[in-house]
Amino acid sequence: MQWLYLAIAVVFEIGVALAAGKAEGFKNRKWTAITLVSGALGTYFLSRALLTFNVGVGYALWTSVSGVGITLLGALLFGQKLNWKKALGIAAVIVGVVGLQLSGAA
């Protein structure tokens, strides 16, 4: 169940980043509200996942998987450049997440 909670937390964290980009420095009330609600829900589900995961491992998984998702969605939805250096960074993050999982740290 902790993996489901972590996955939901990742989705909301990606939502925070995407909504914050549209919030225009918190001038746009609709996107500001979406940012804040997504952040609260993401934190809630992360805290549920951390009942089982080690805090450092759970937080590392949350931030890294969210970062990869945000980078990929930025390229897909907003035309942001995805060059070989970013792809290499994404690959390194994925290797790190797999390494954490294989370590049995959950």
2-39 pLDDT, tens digit each: 999 999 999 999 999 999 989 999 999 999 999 999 99
- CA dist 33 and 65 (Å) reads 24
The confidence score (pLDDT) of residue 101 equals 75
Rounded to the nearest 10 degrees, how much is the dihedral formed by the CA atoms of 66, 69, 74, 77?
-130
- Asked whether residue 94 carries a pLDDT value surpassing 90, the answer given is no
Q: Across residues 93-99, what is the average pLDDT?
A: 86
The confidence score (pLDDT) of residue 105 equals 54
CB distance 100 to 84 below 8 Å: no
Full residue range of the structural domain in which residue 46 is found = 1-103
Nearest to 2 by CA among 43, 58, 42: 58
Tally the domains of the chain.
1
59-75 pLDDT, tens digit each: 888 999 999 999 999 89
The confidence score (pLDDT) of residue 78 equals 86
The confidence score (pLDDT) of residue 106 equals 53
Vertex 6, ends 74 and 52: CA angle to 5°? Answer: 155
Write down the mean pLDDT value for the chain.
91
Q: Across residues 42-67, what is the average pLDDT?
A: 91
The confidence score (pLDDT) of residue 79 equals 87
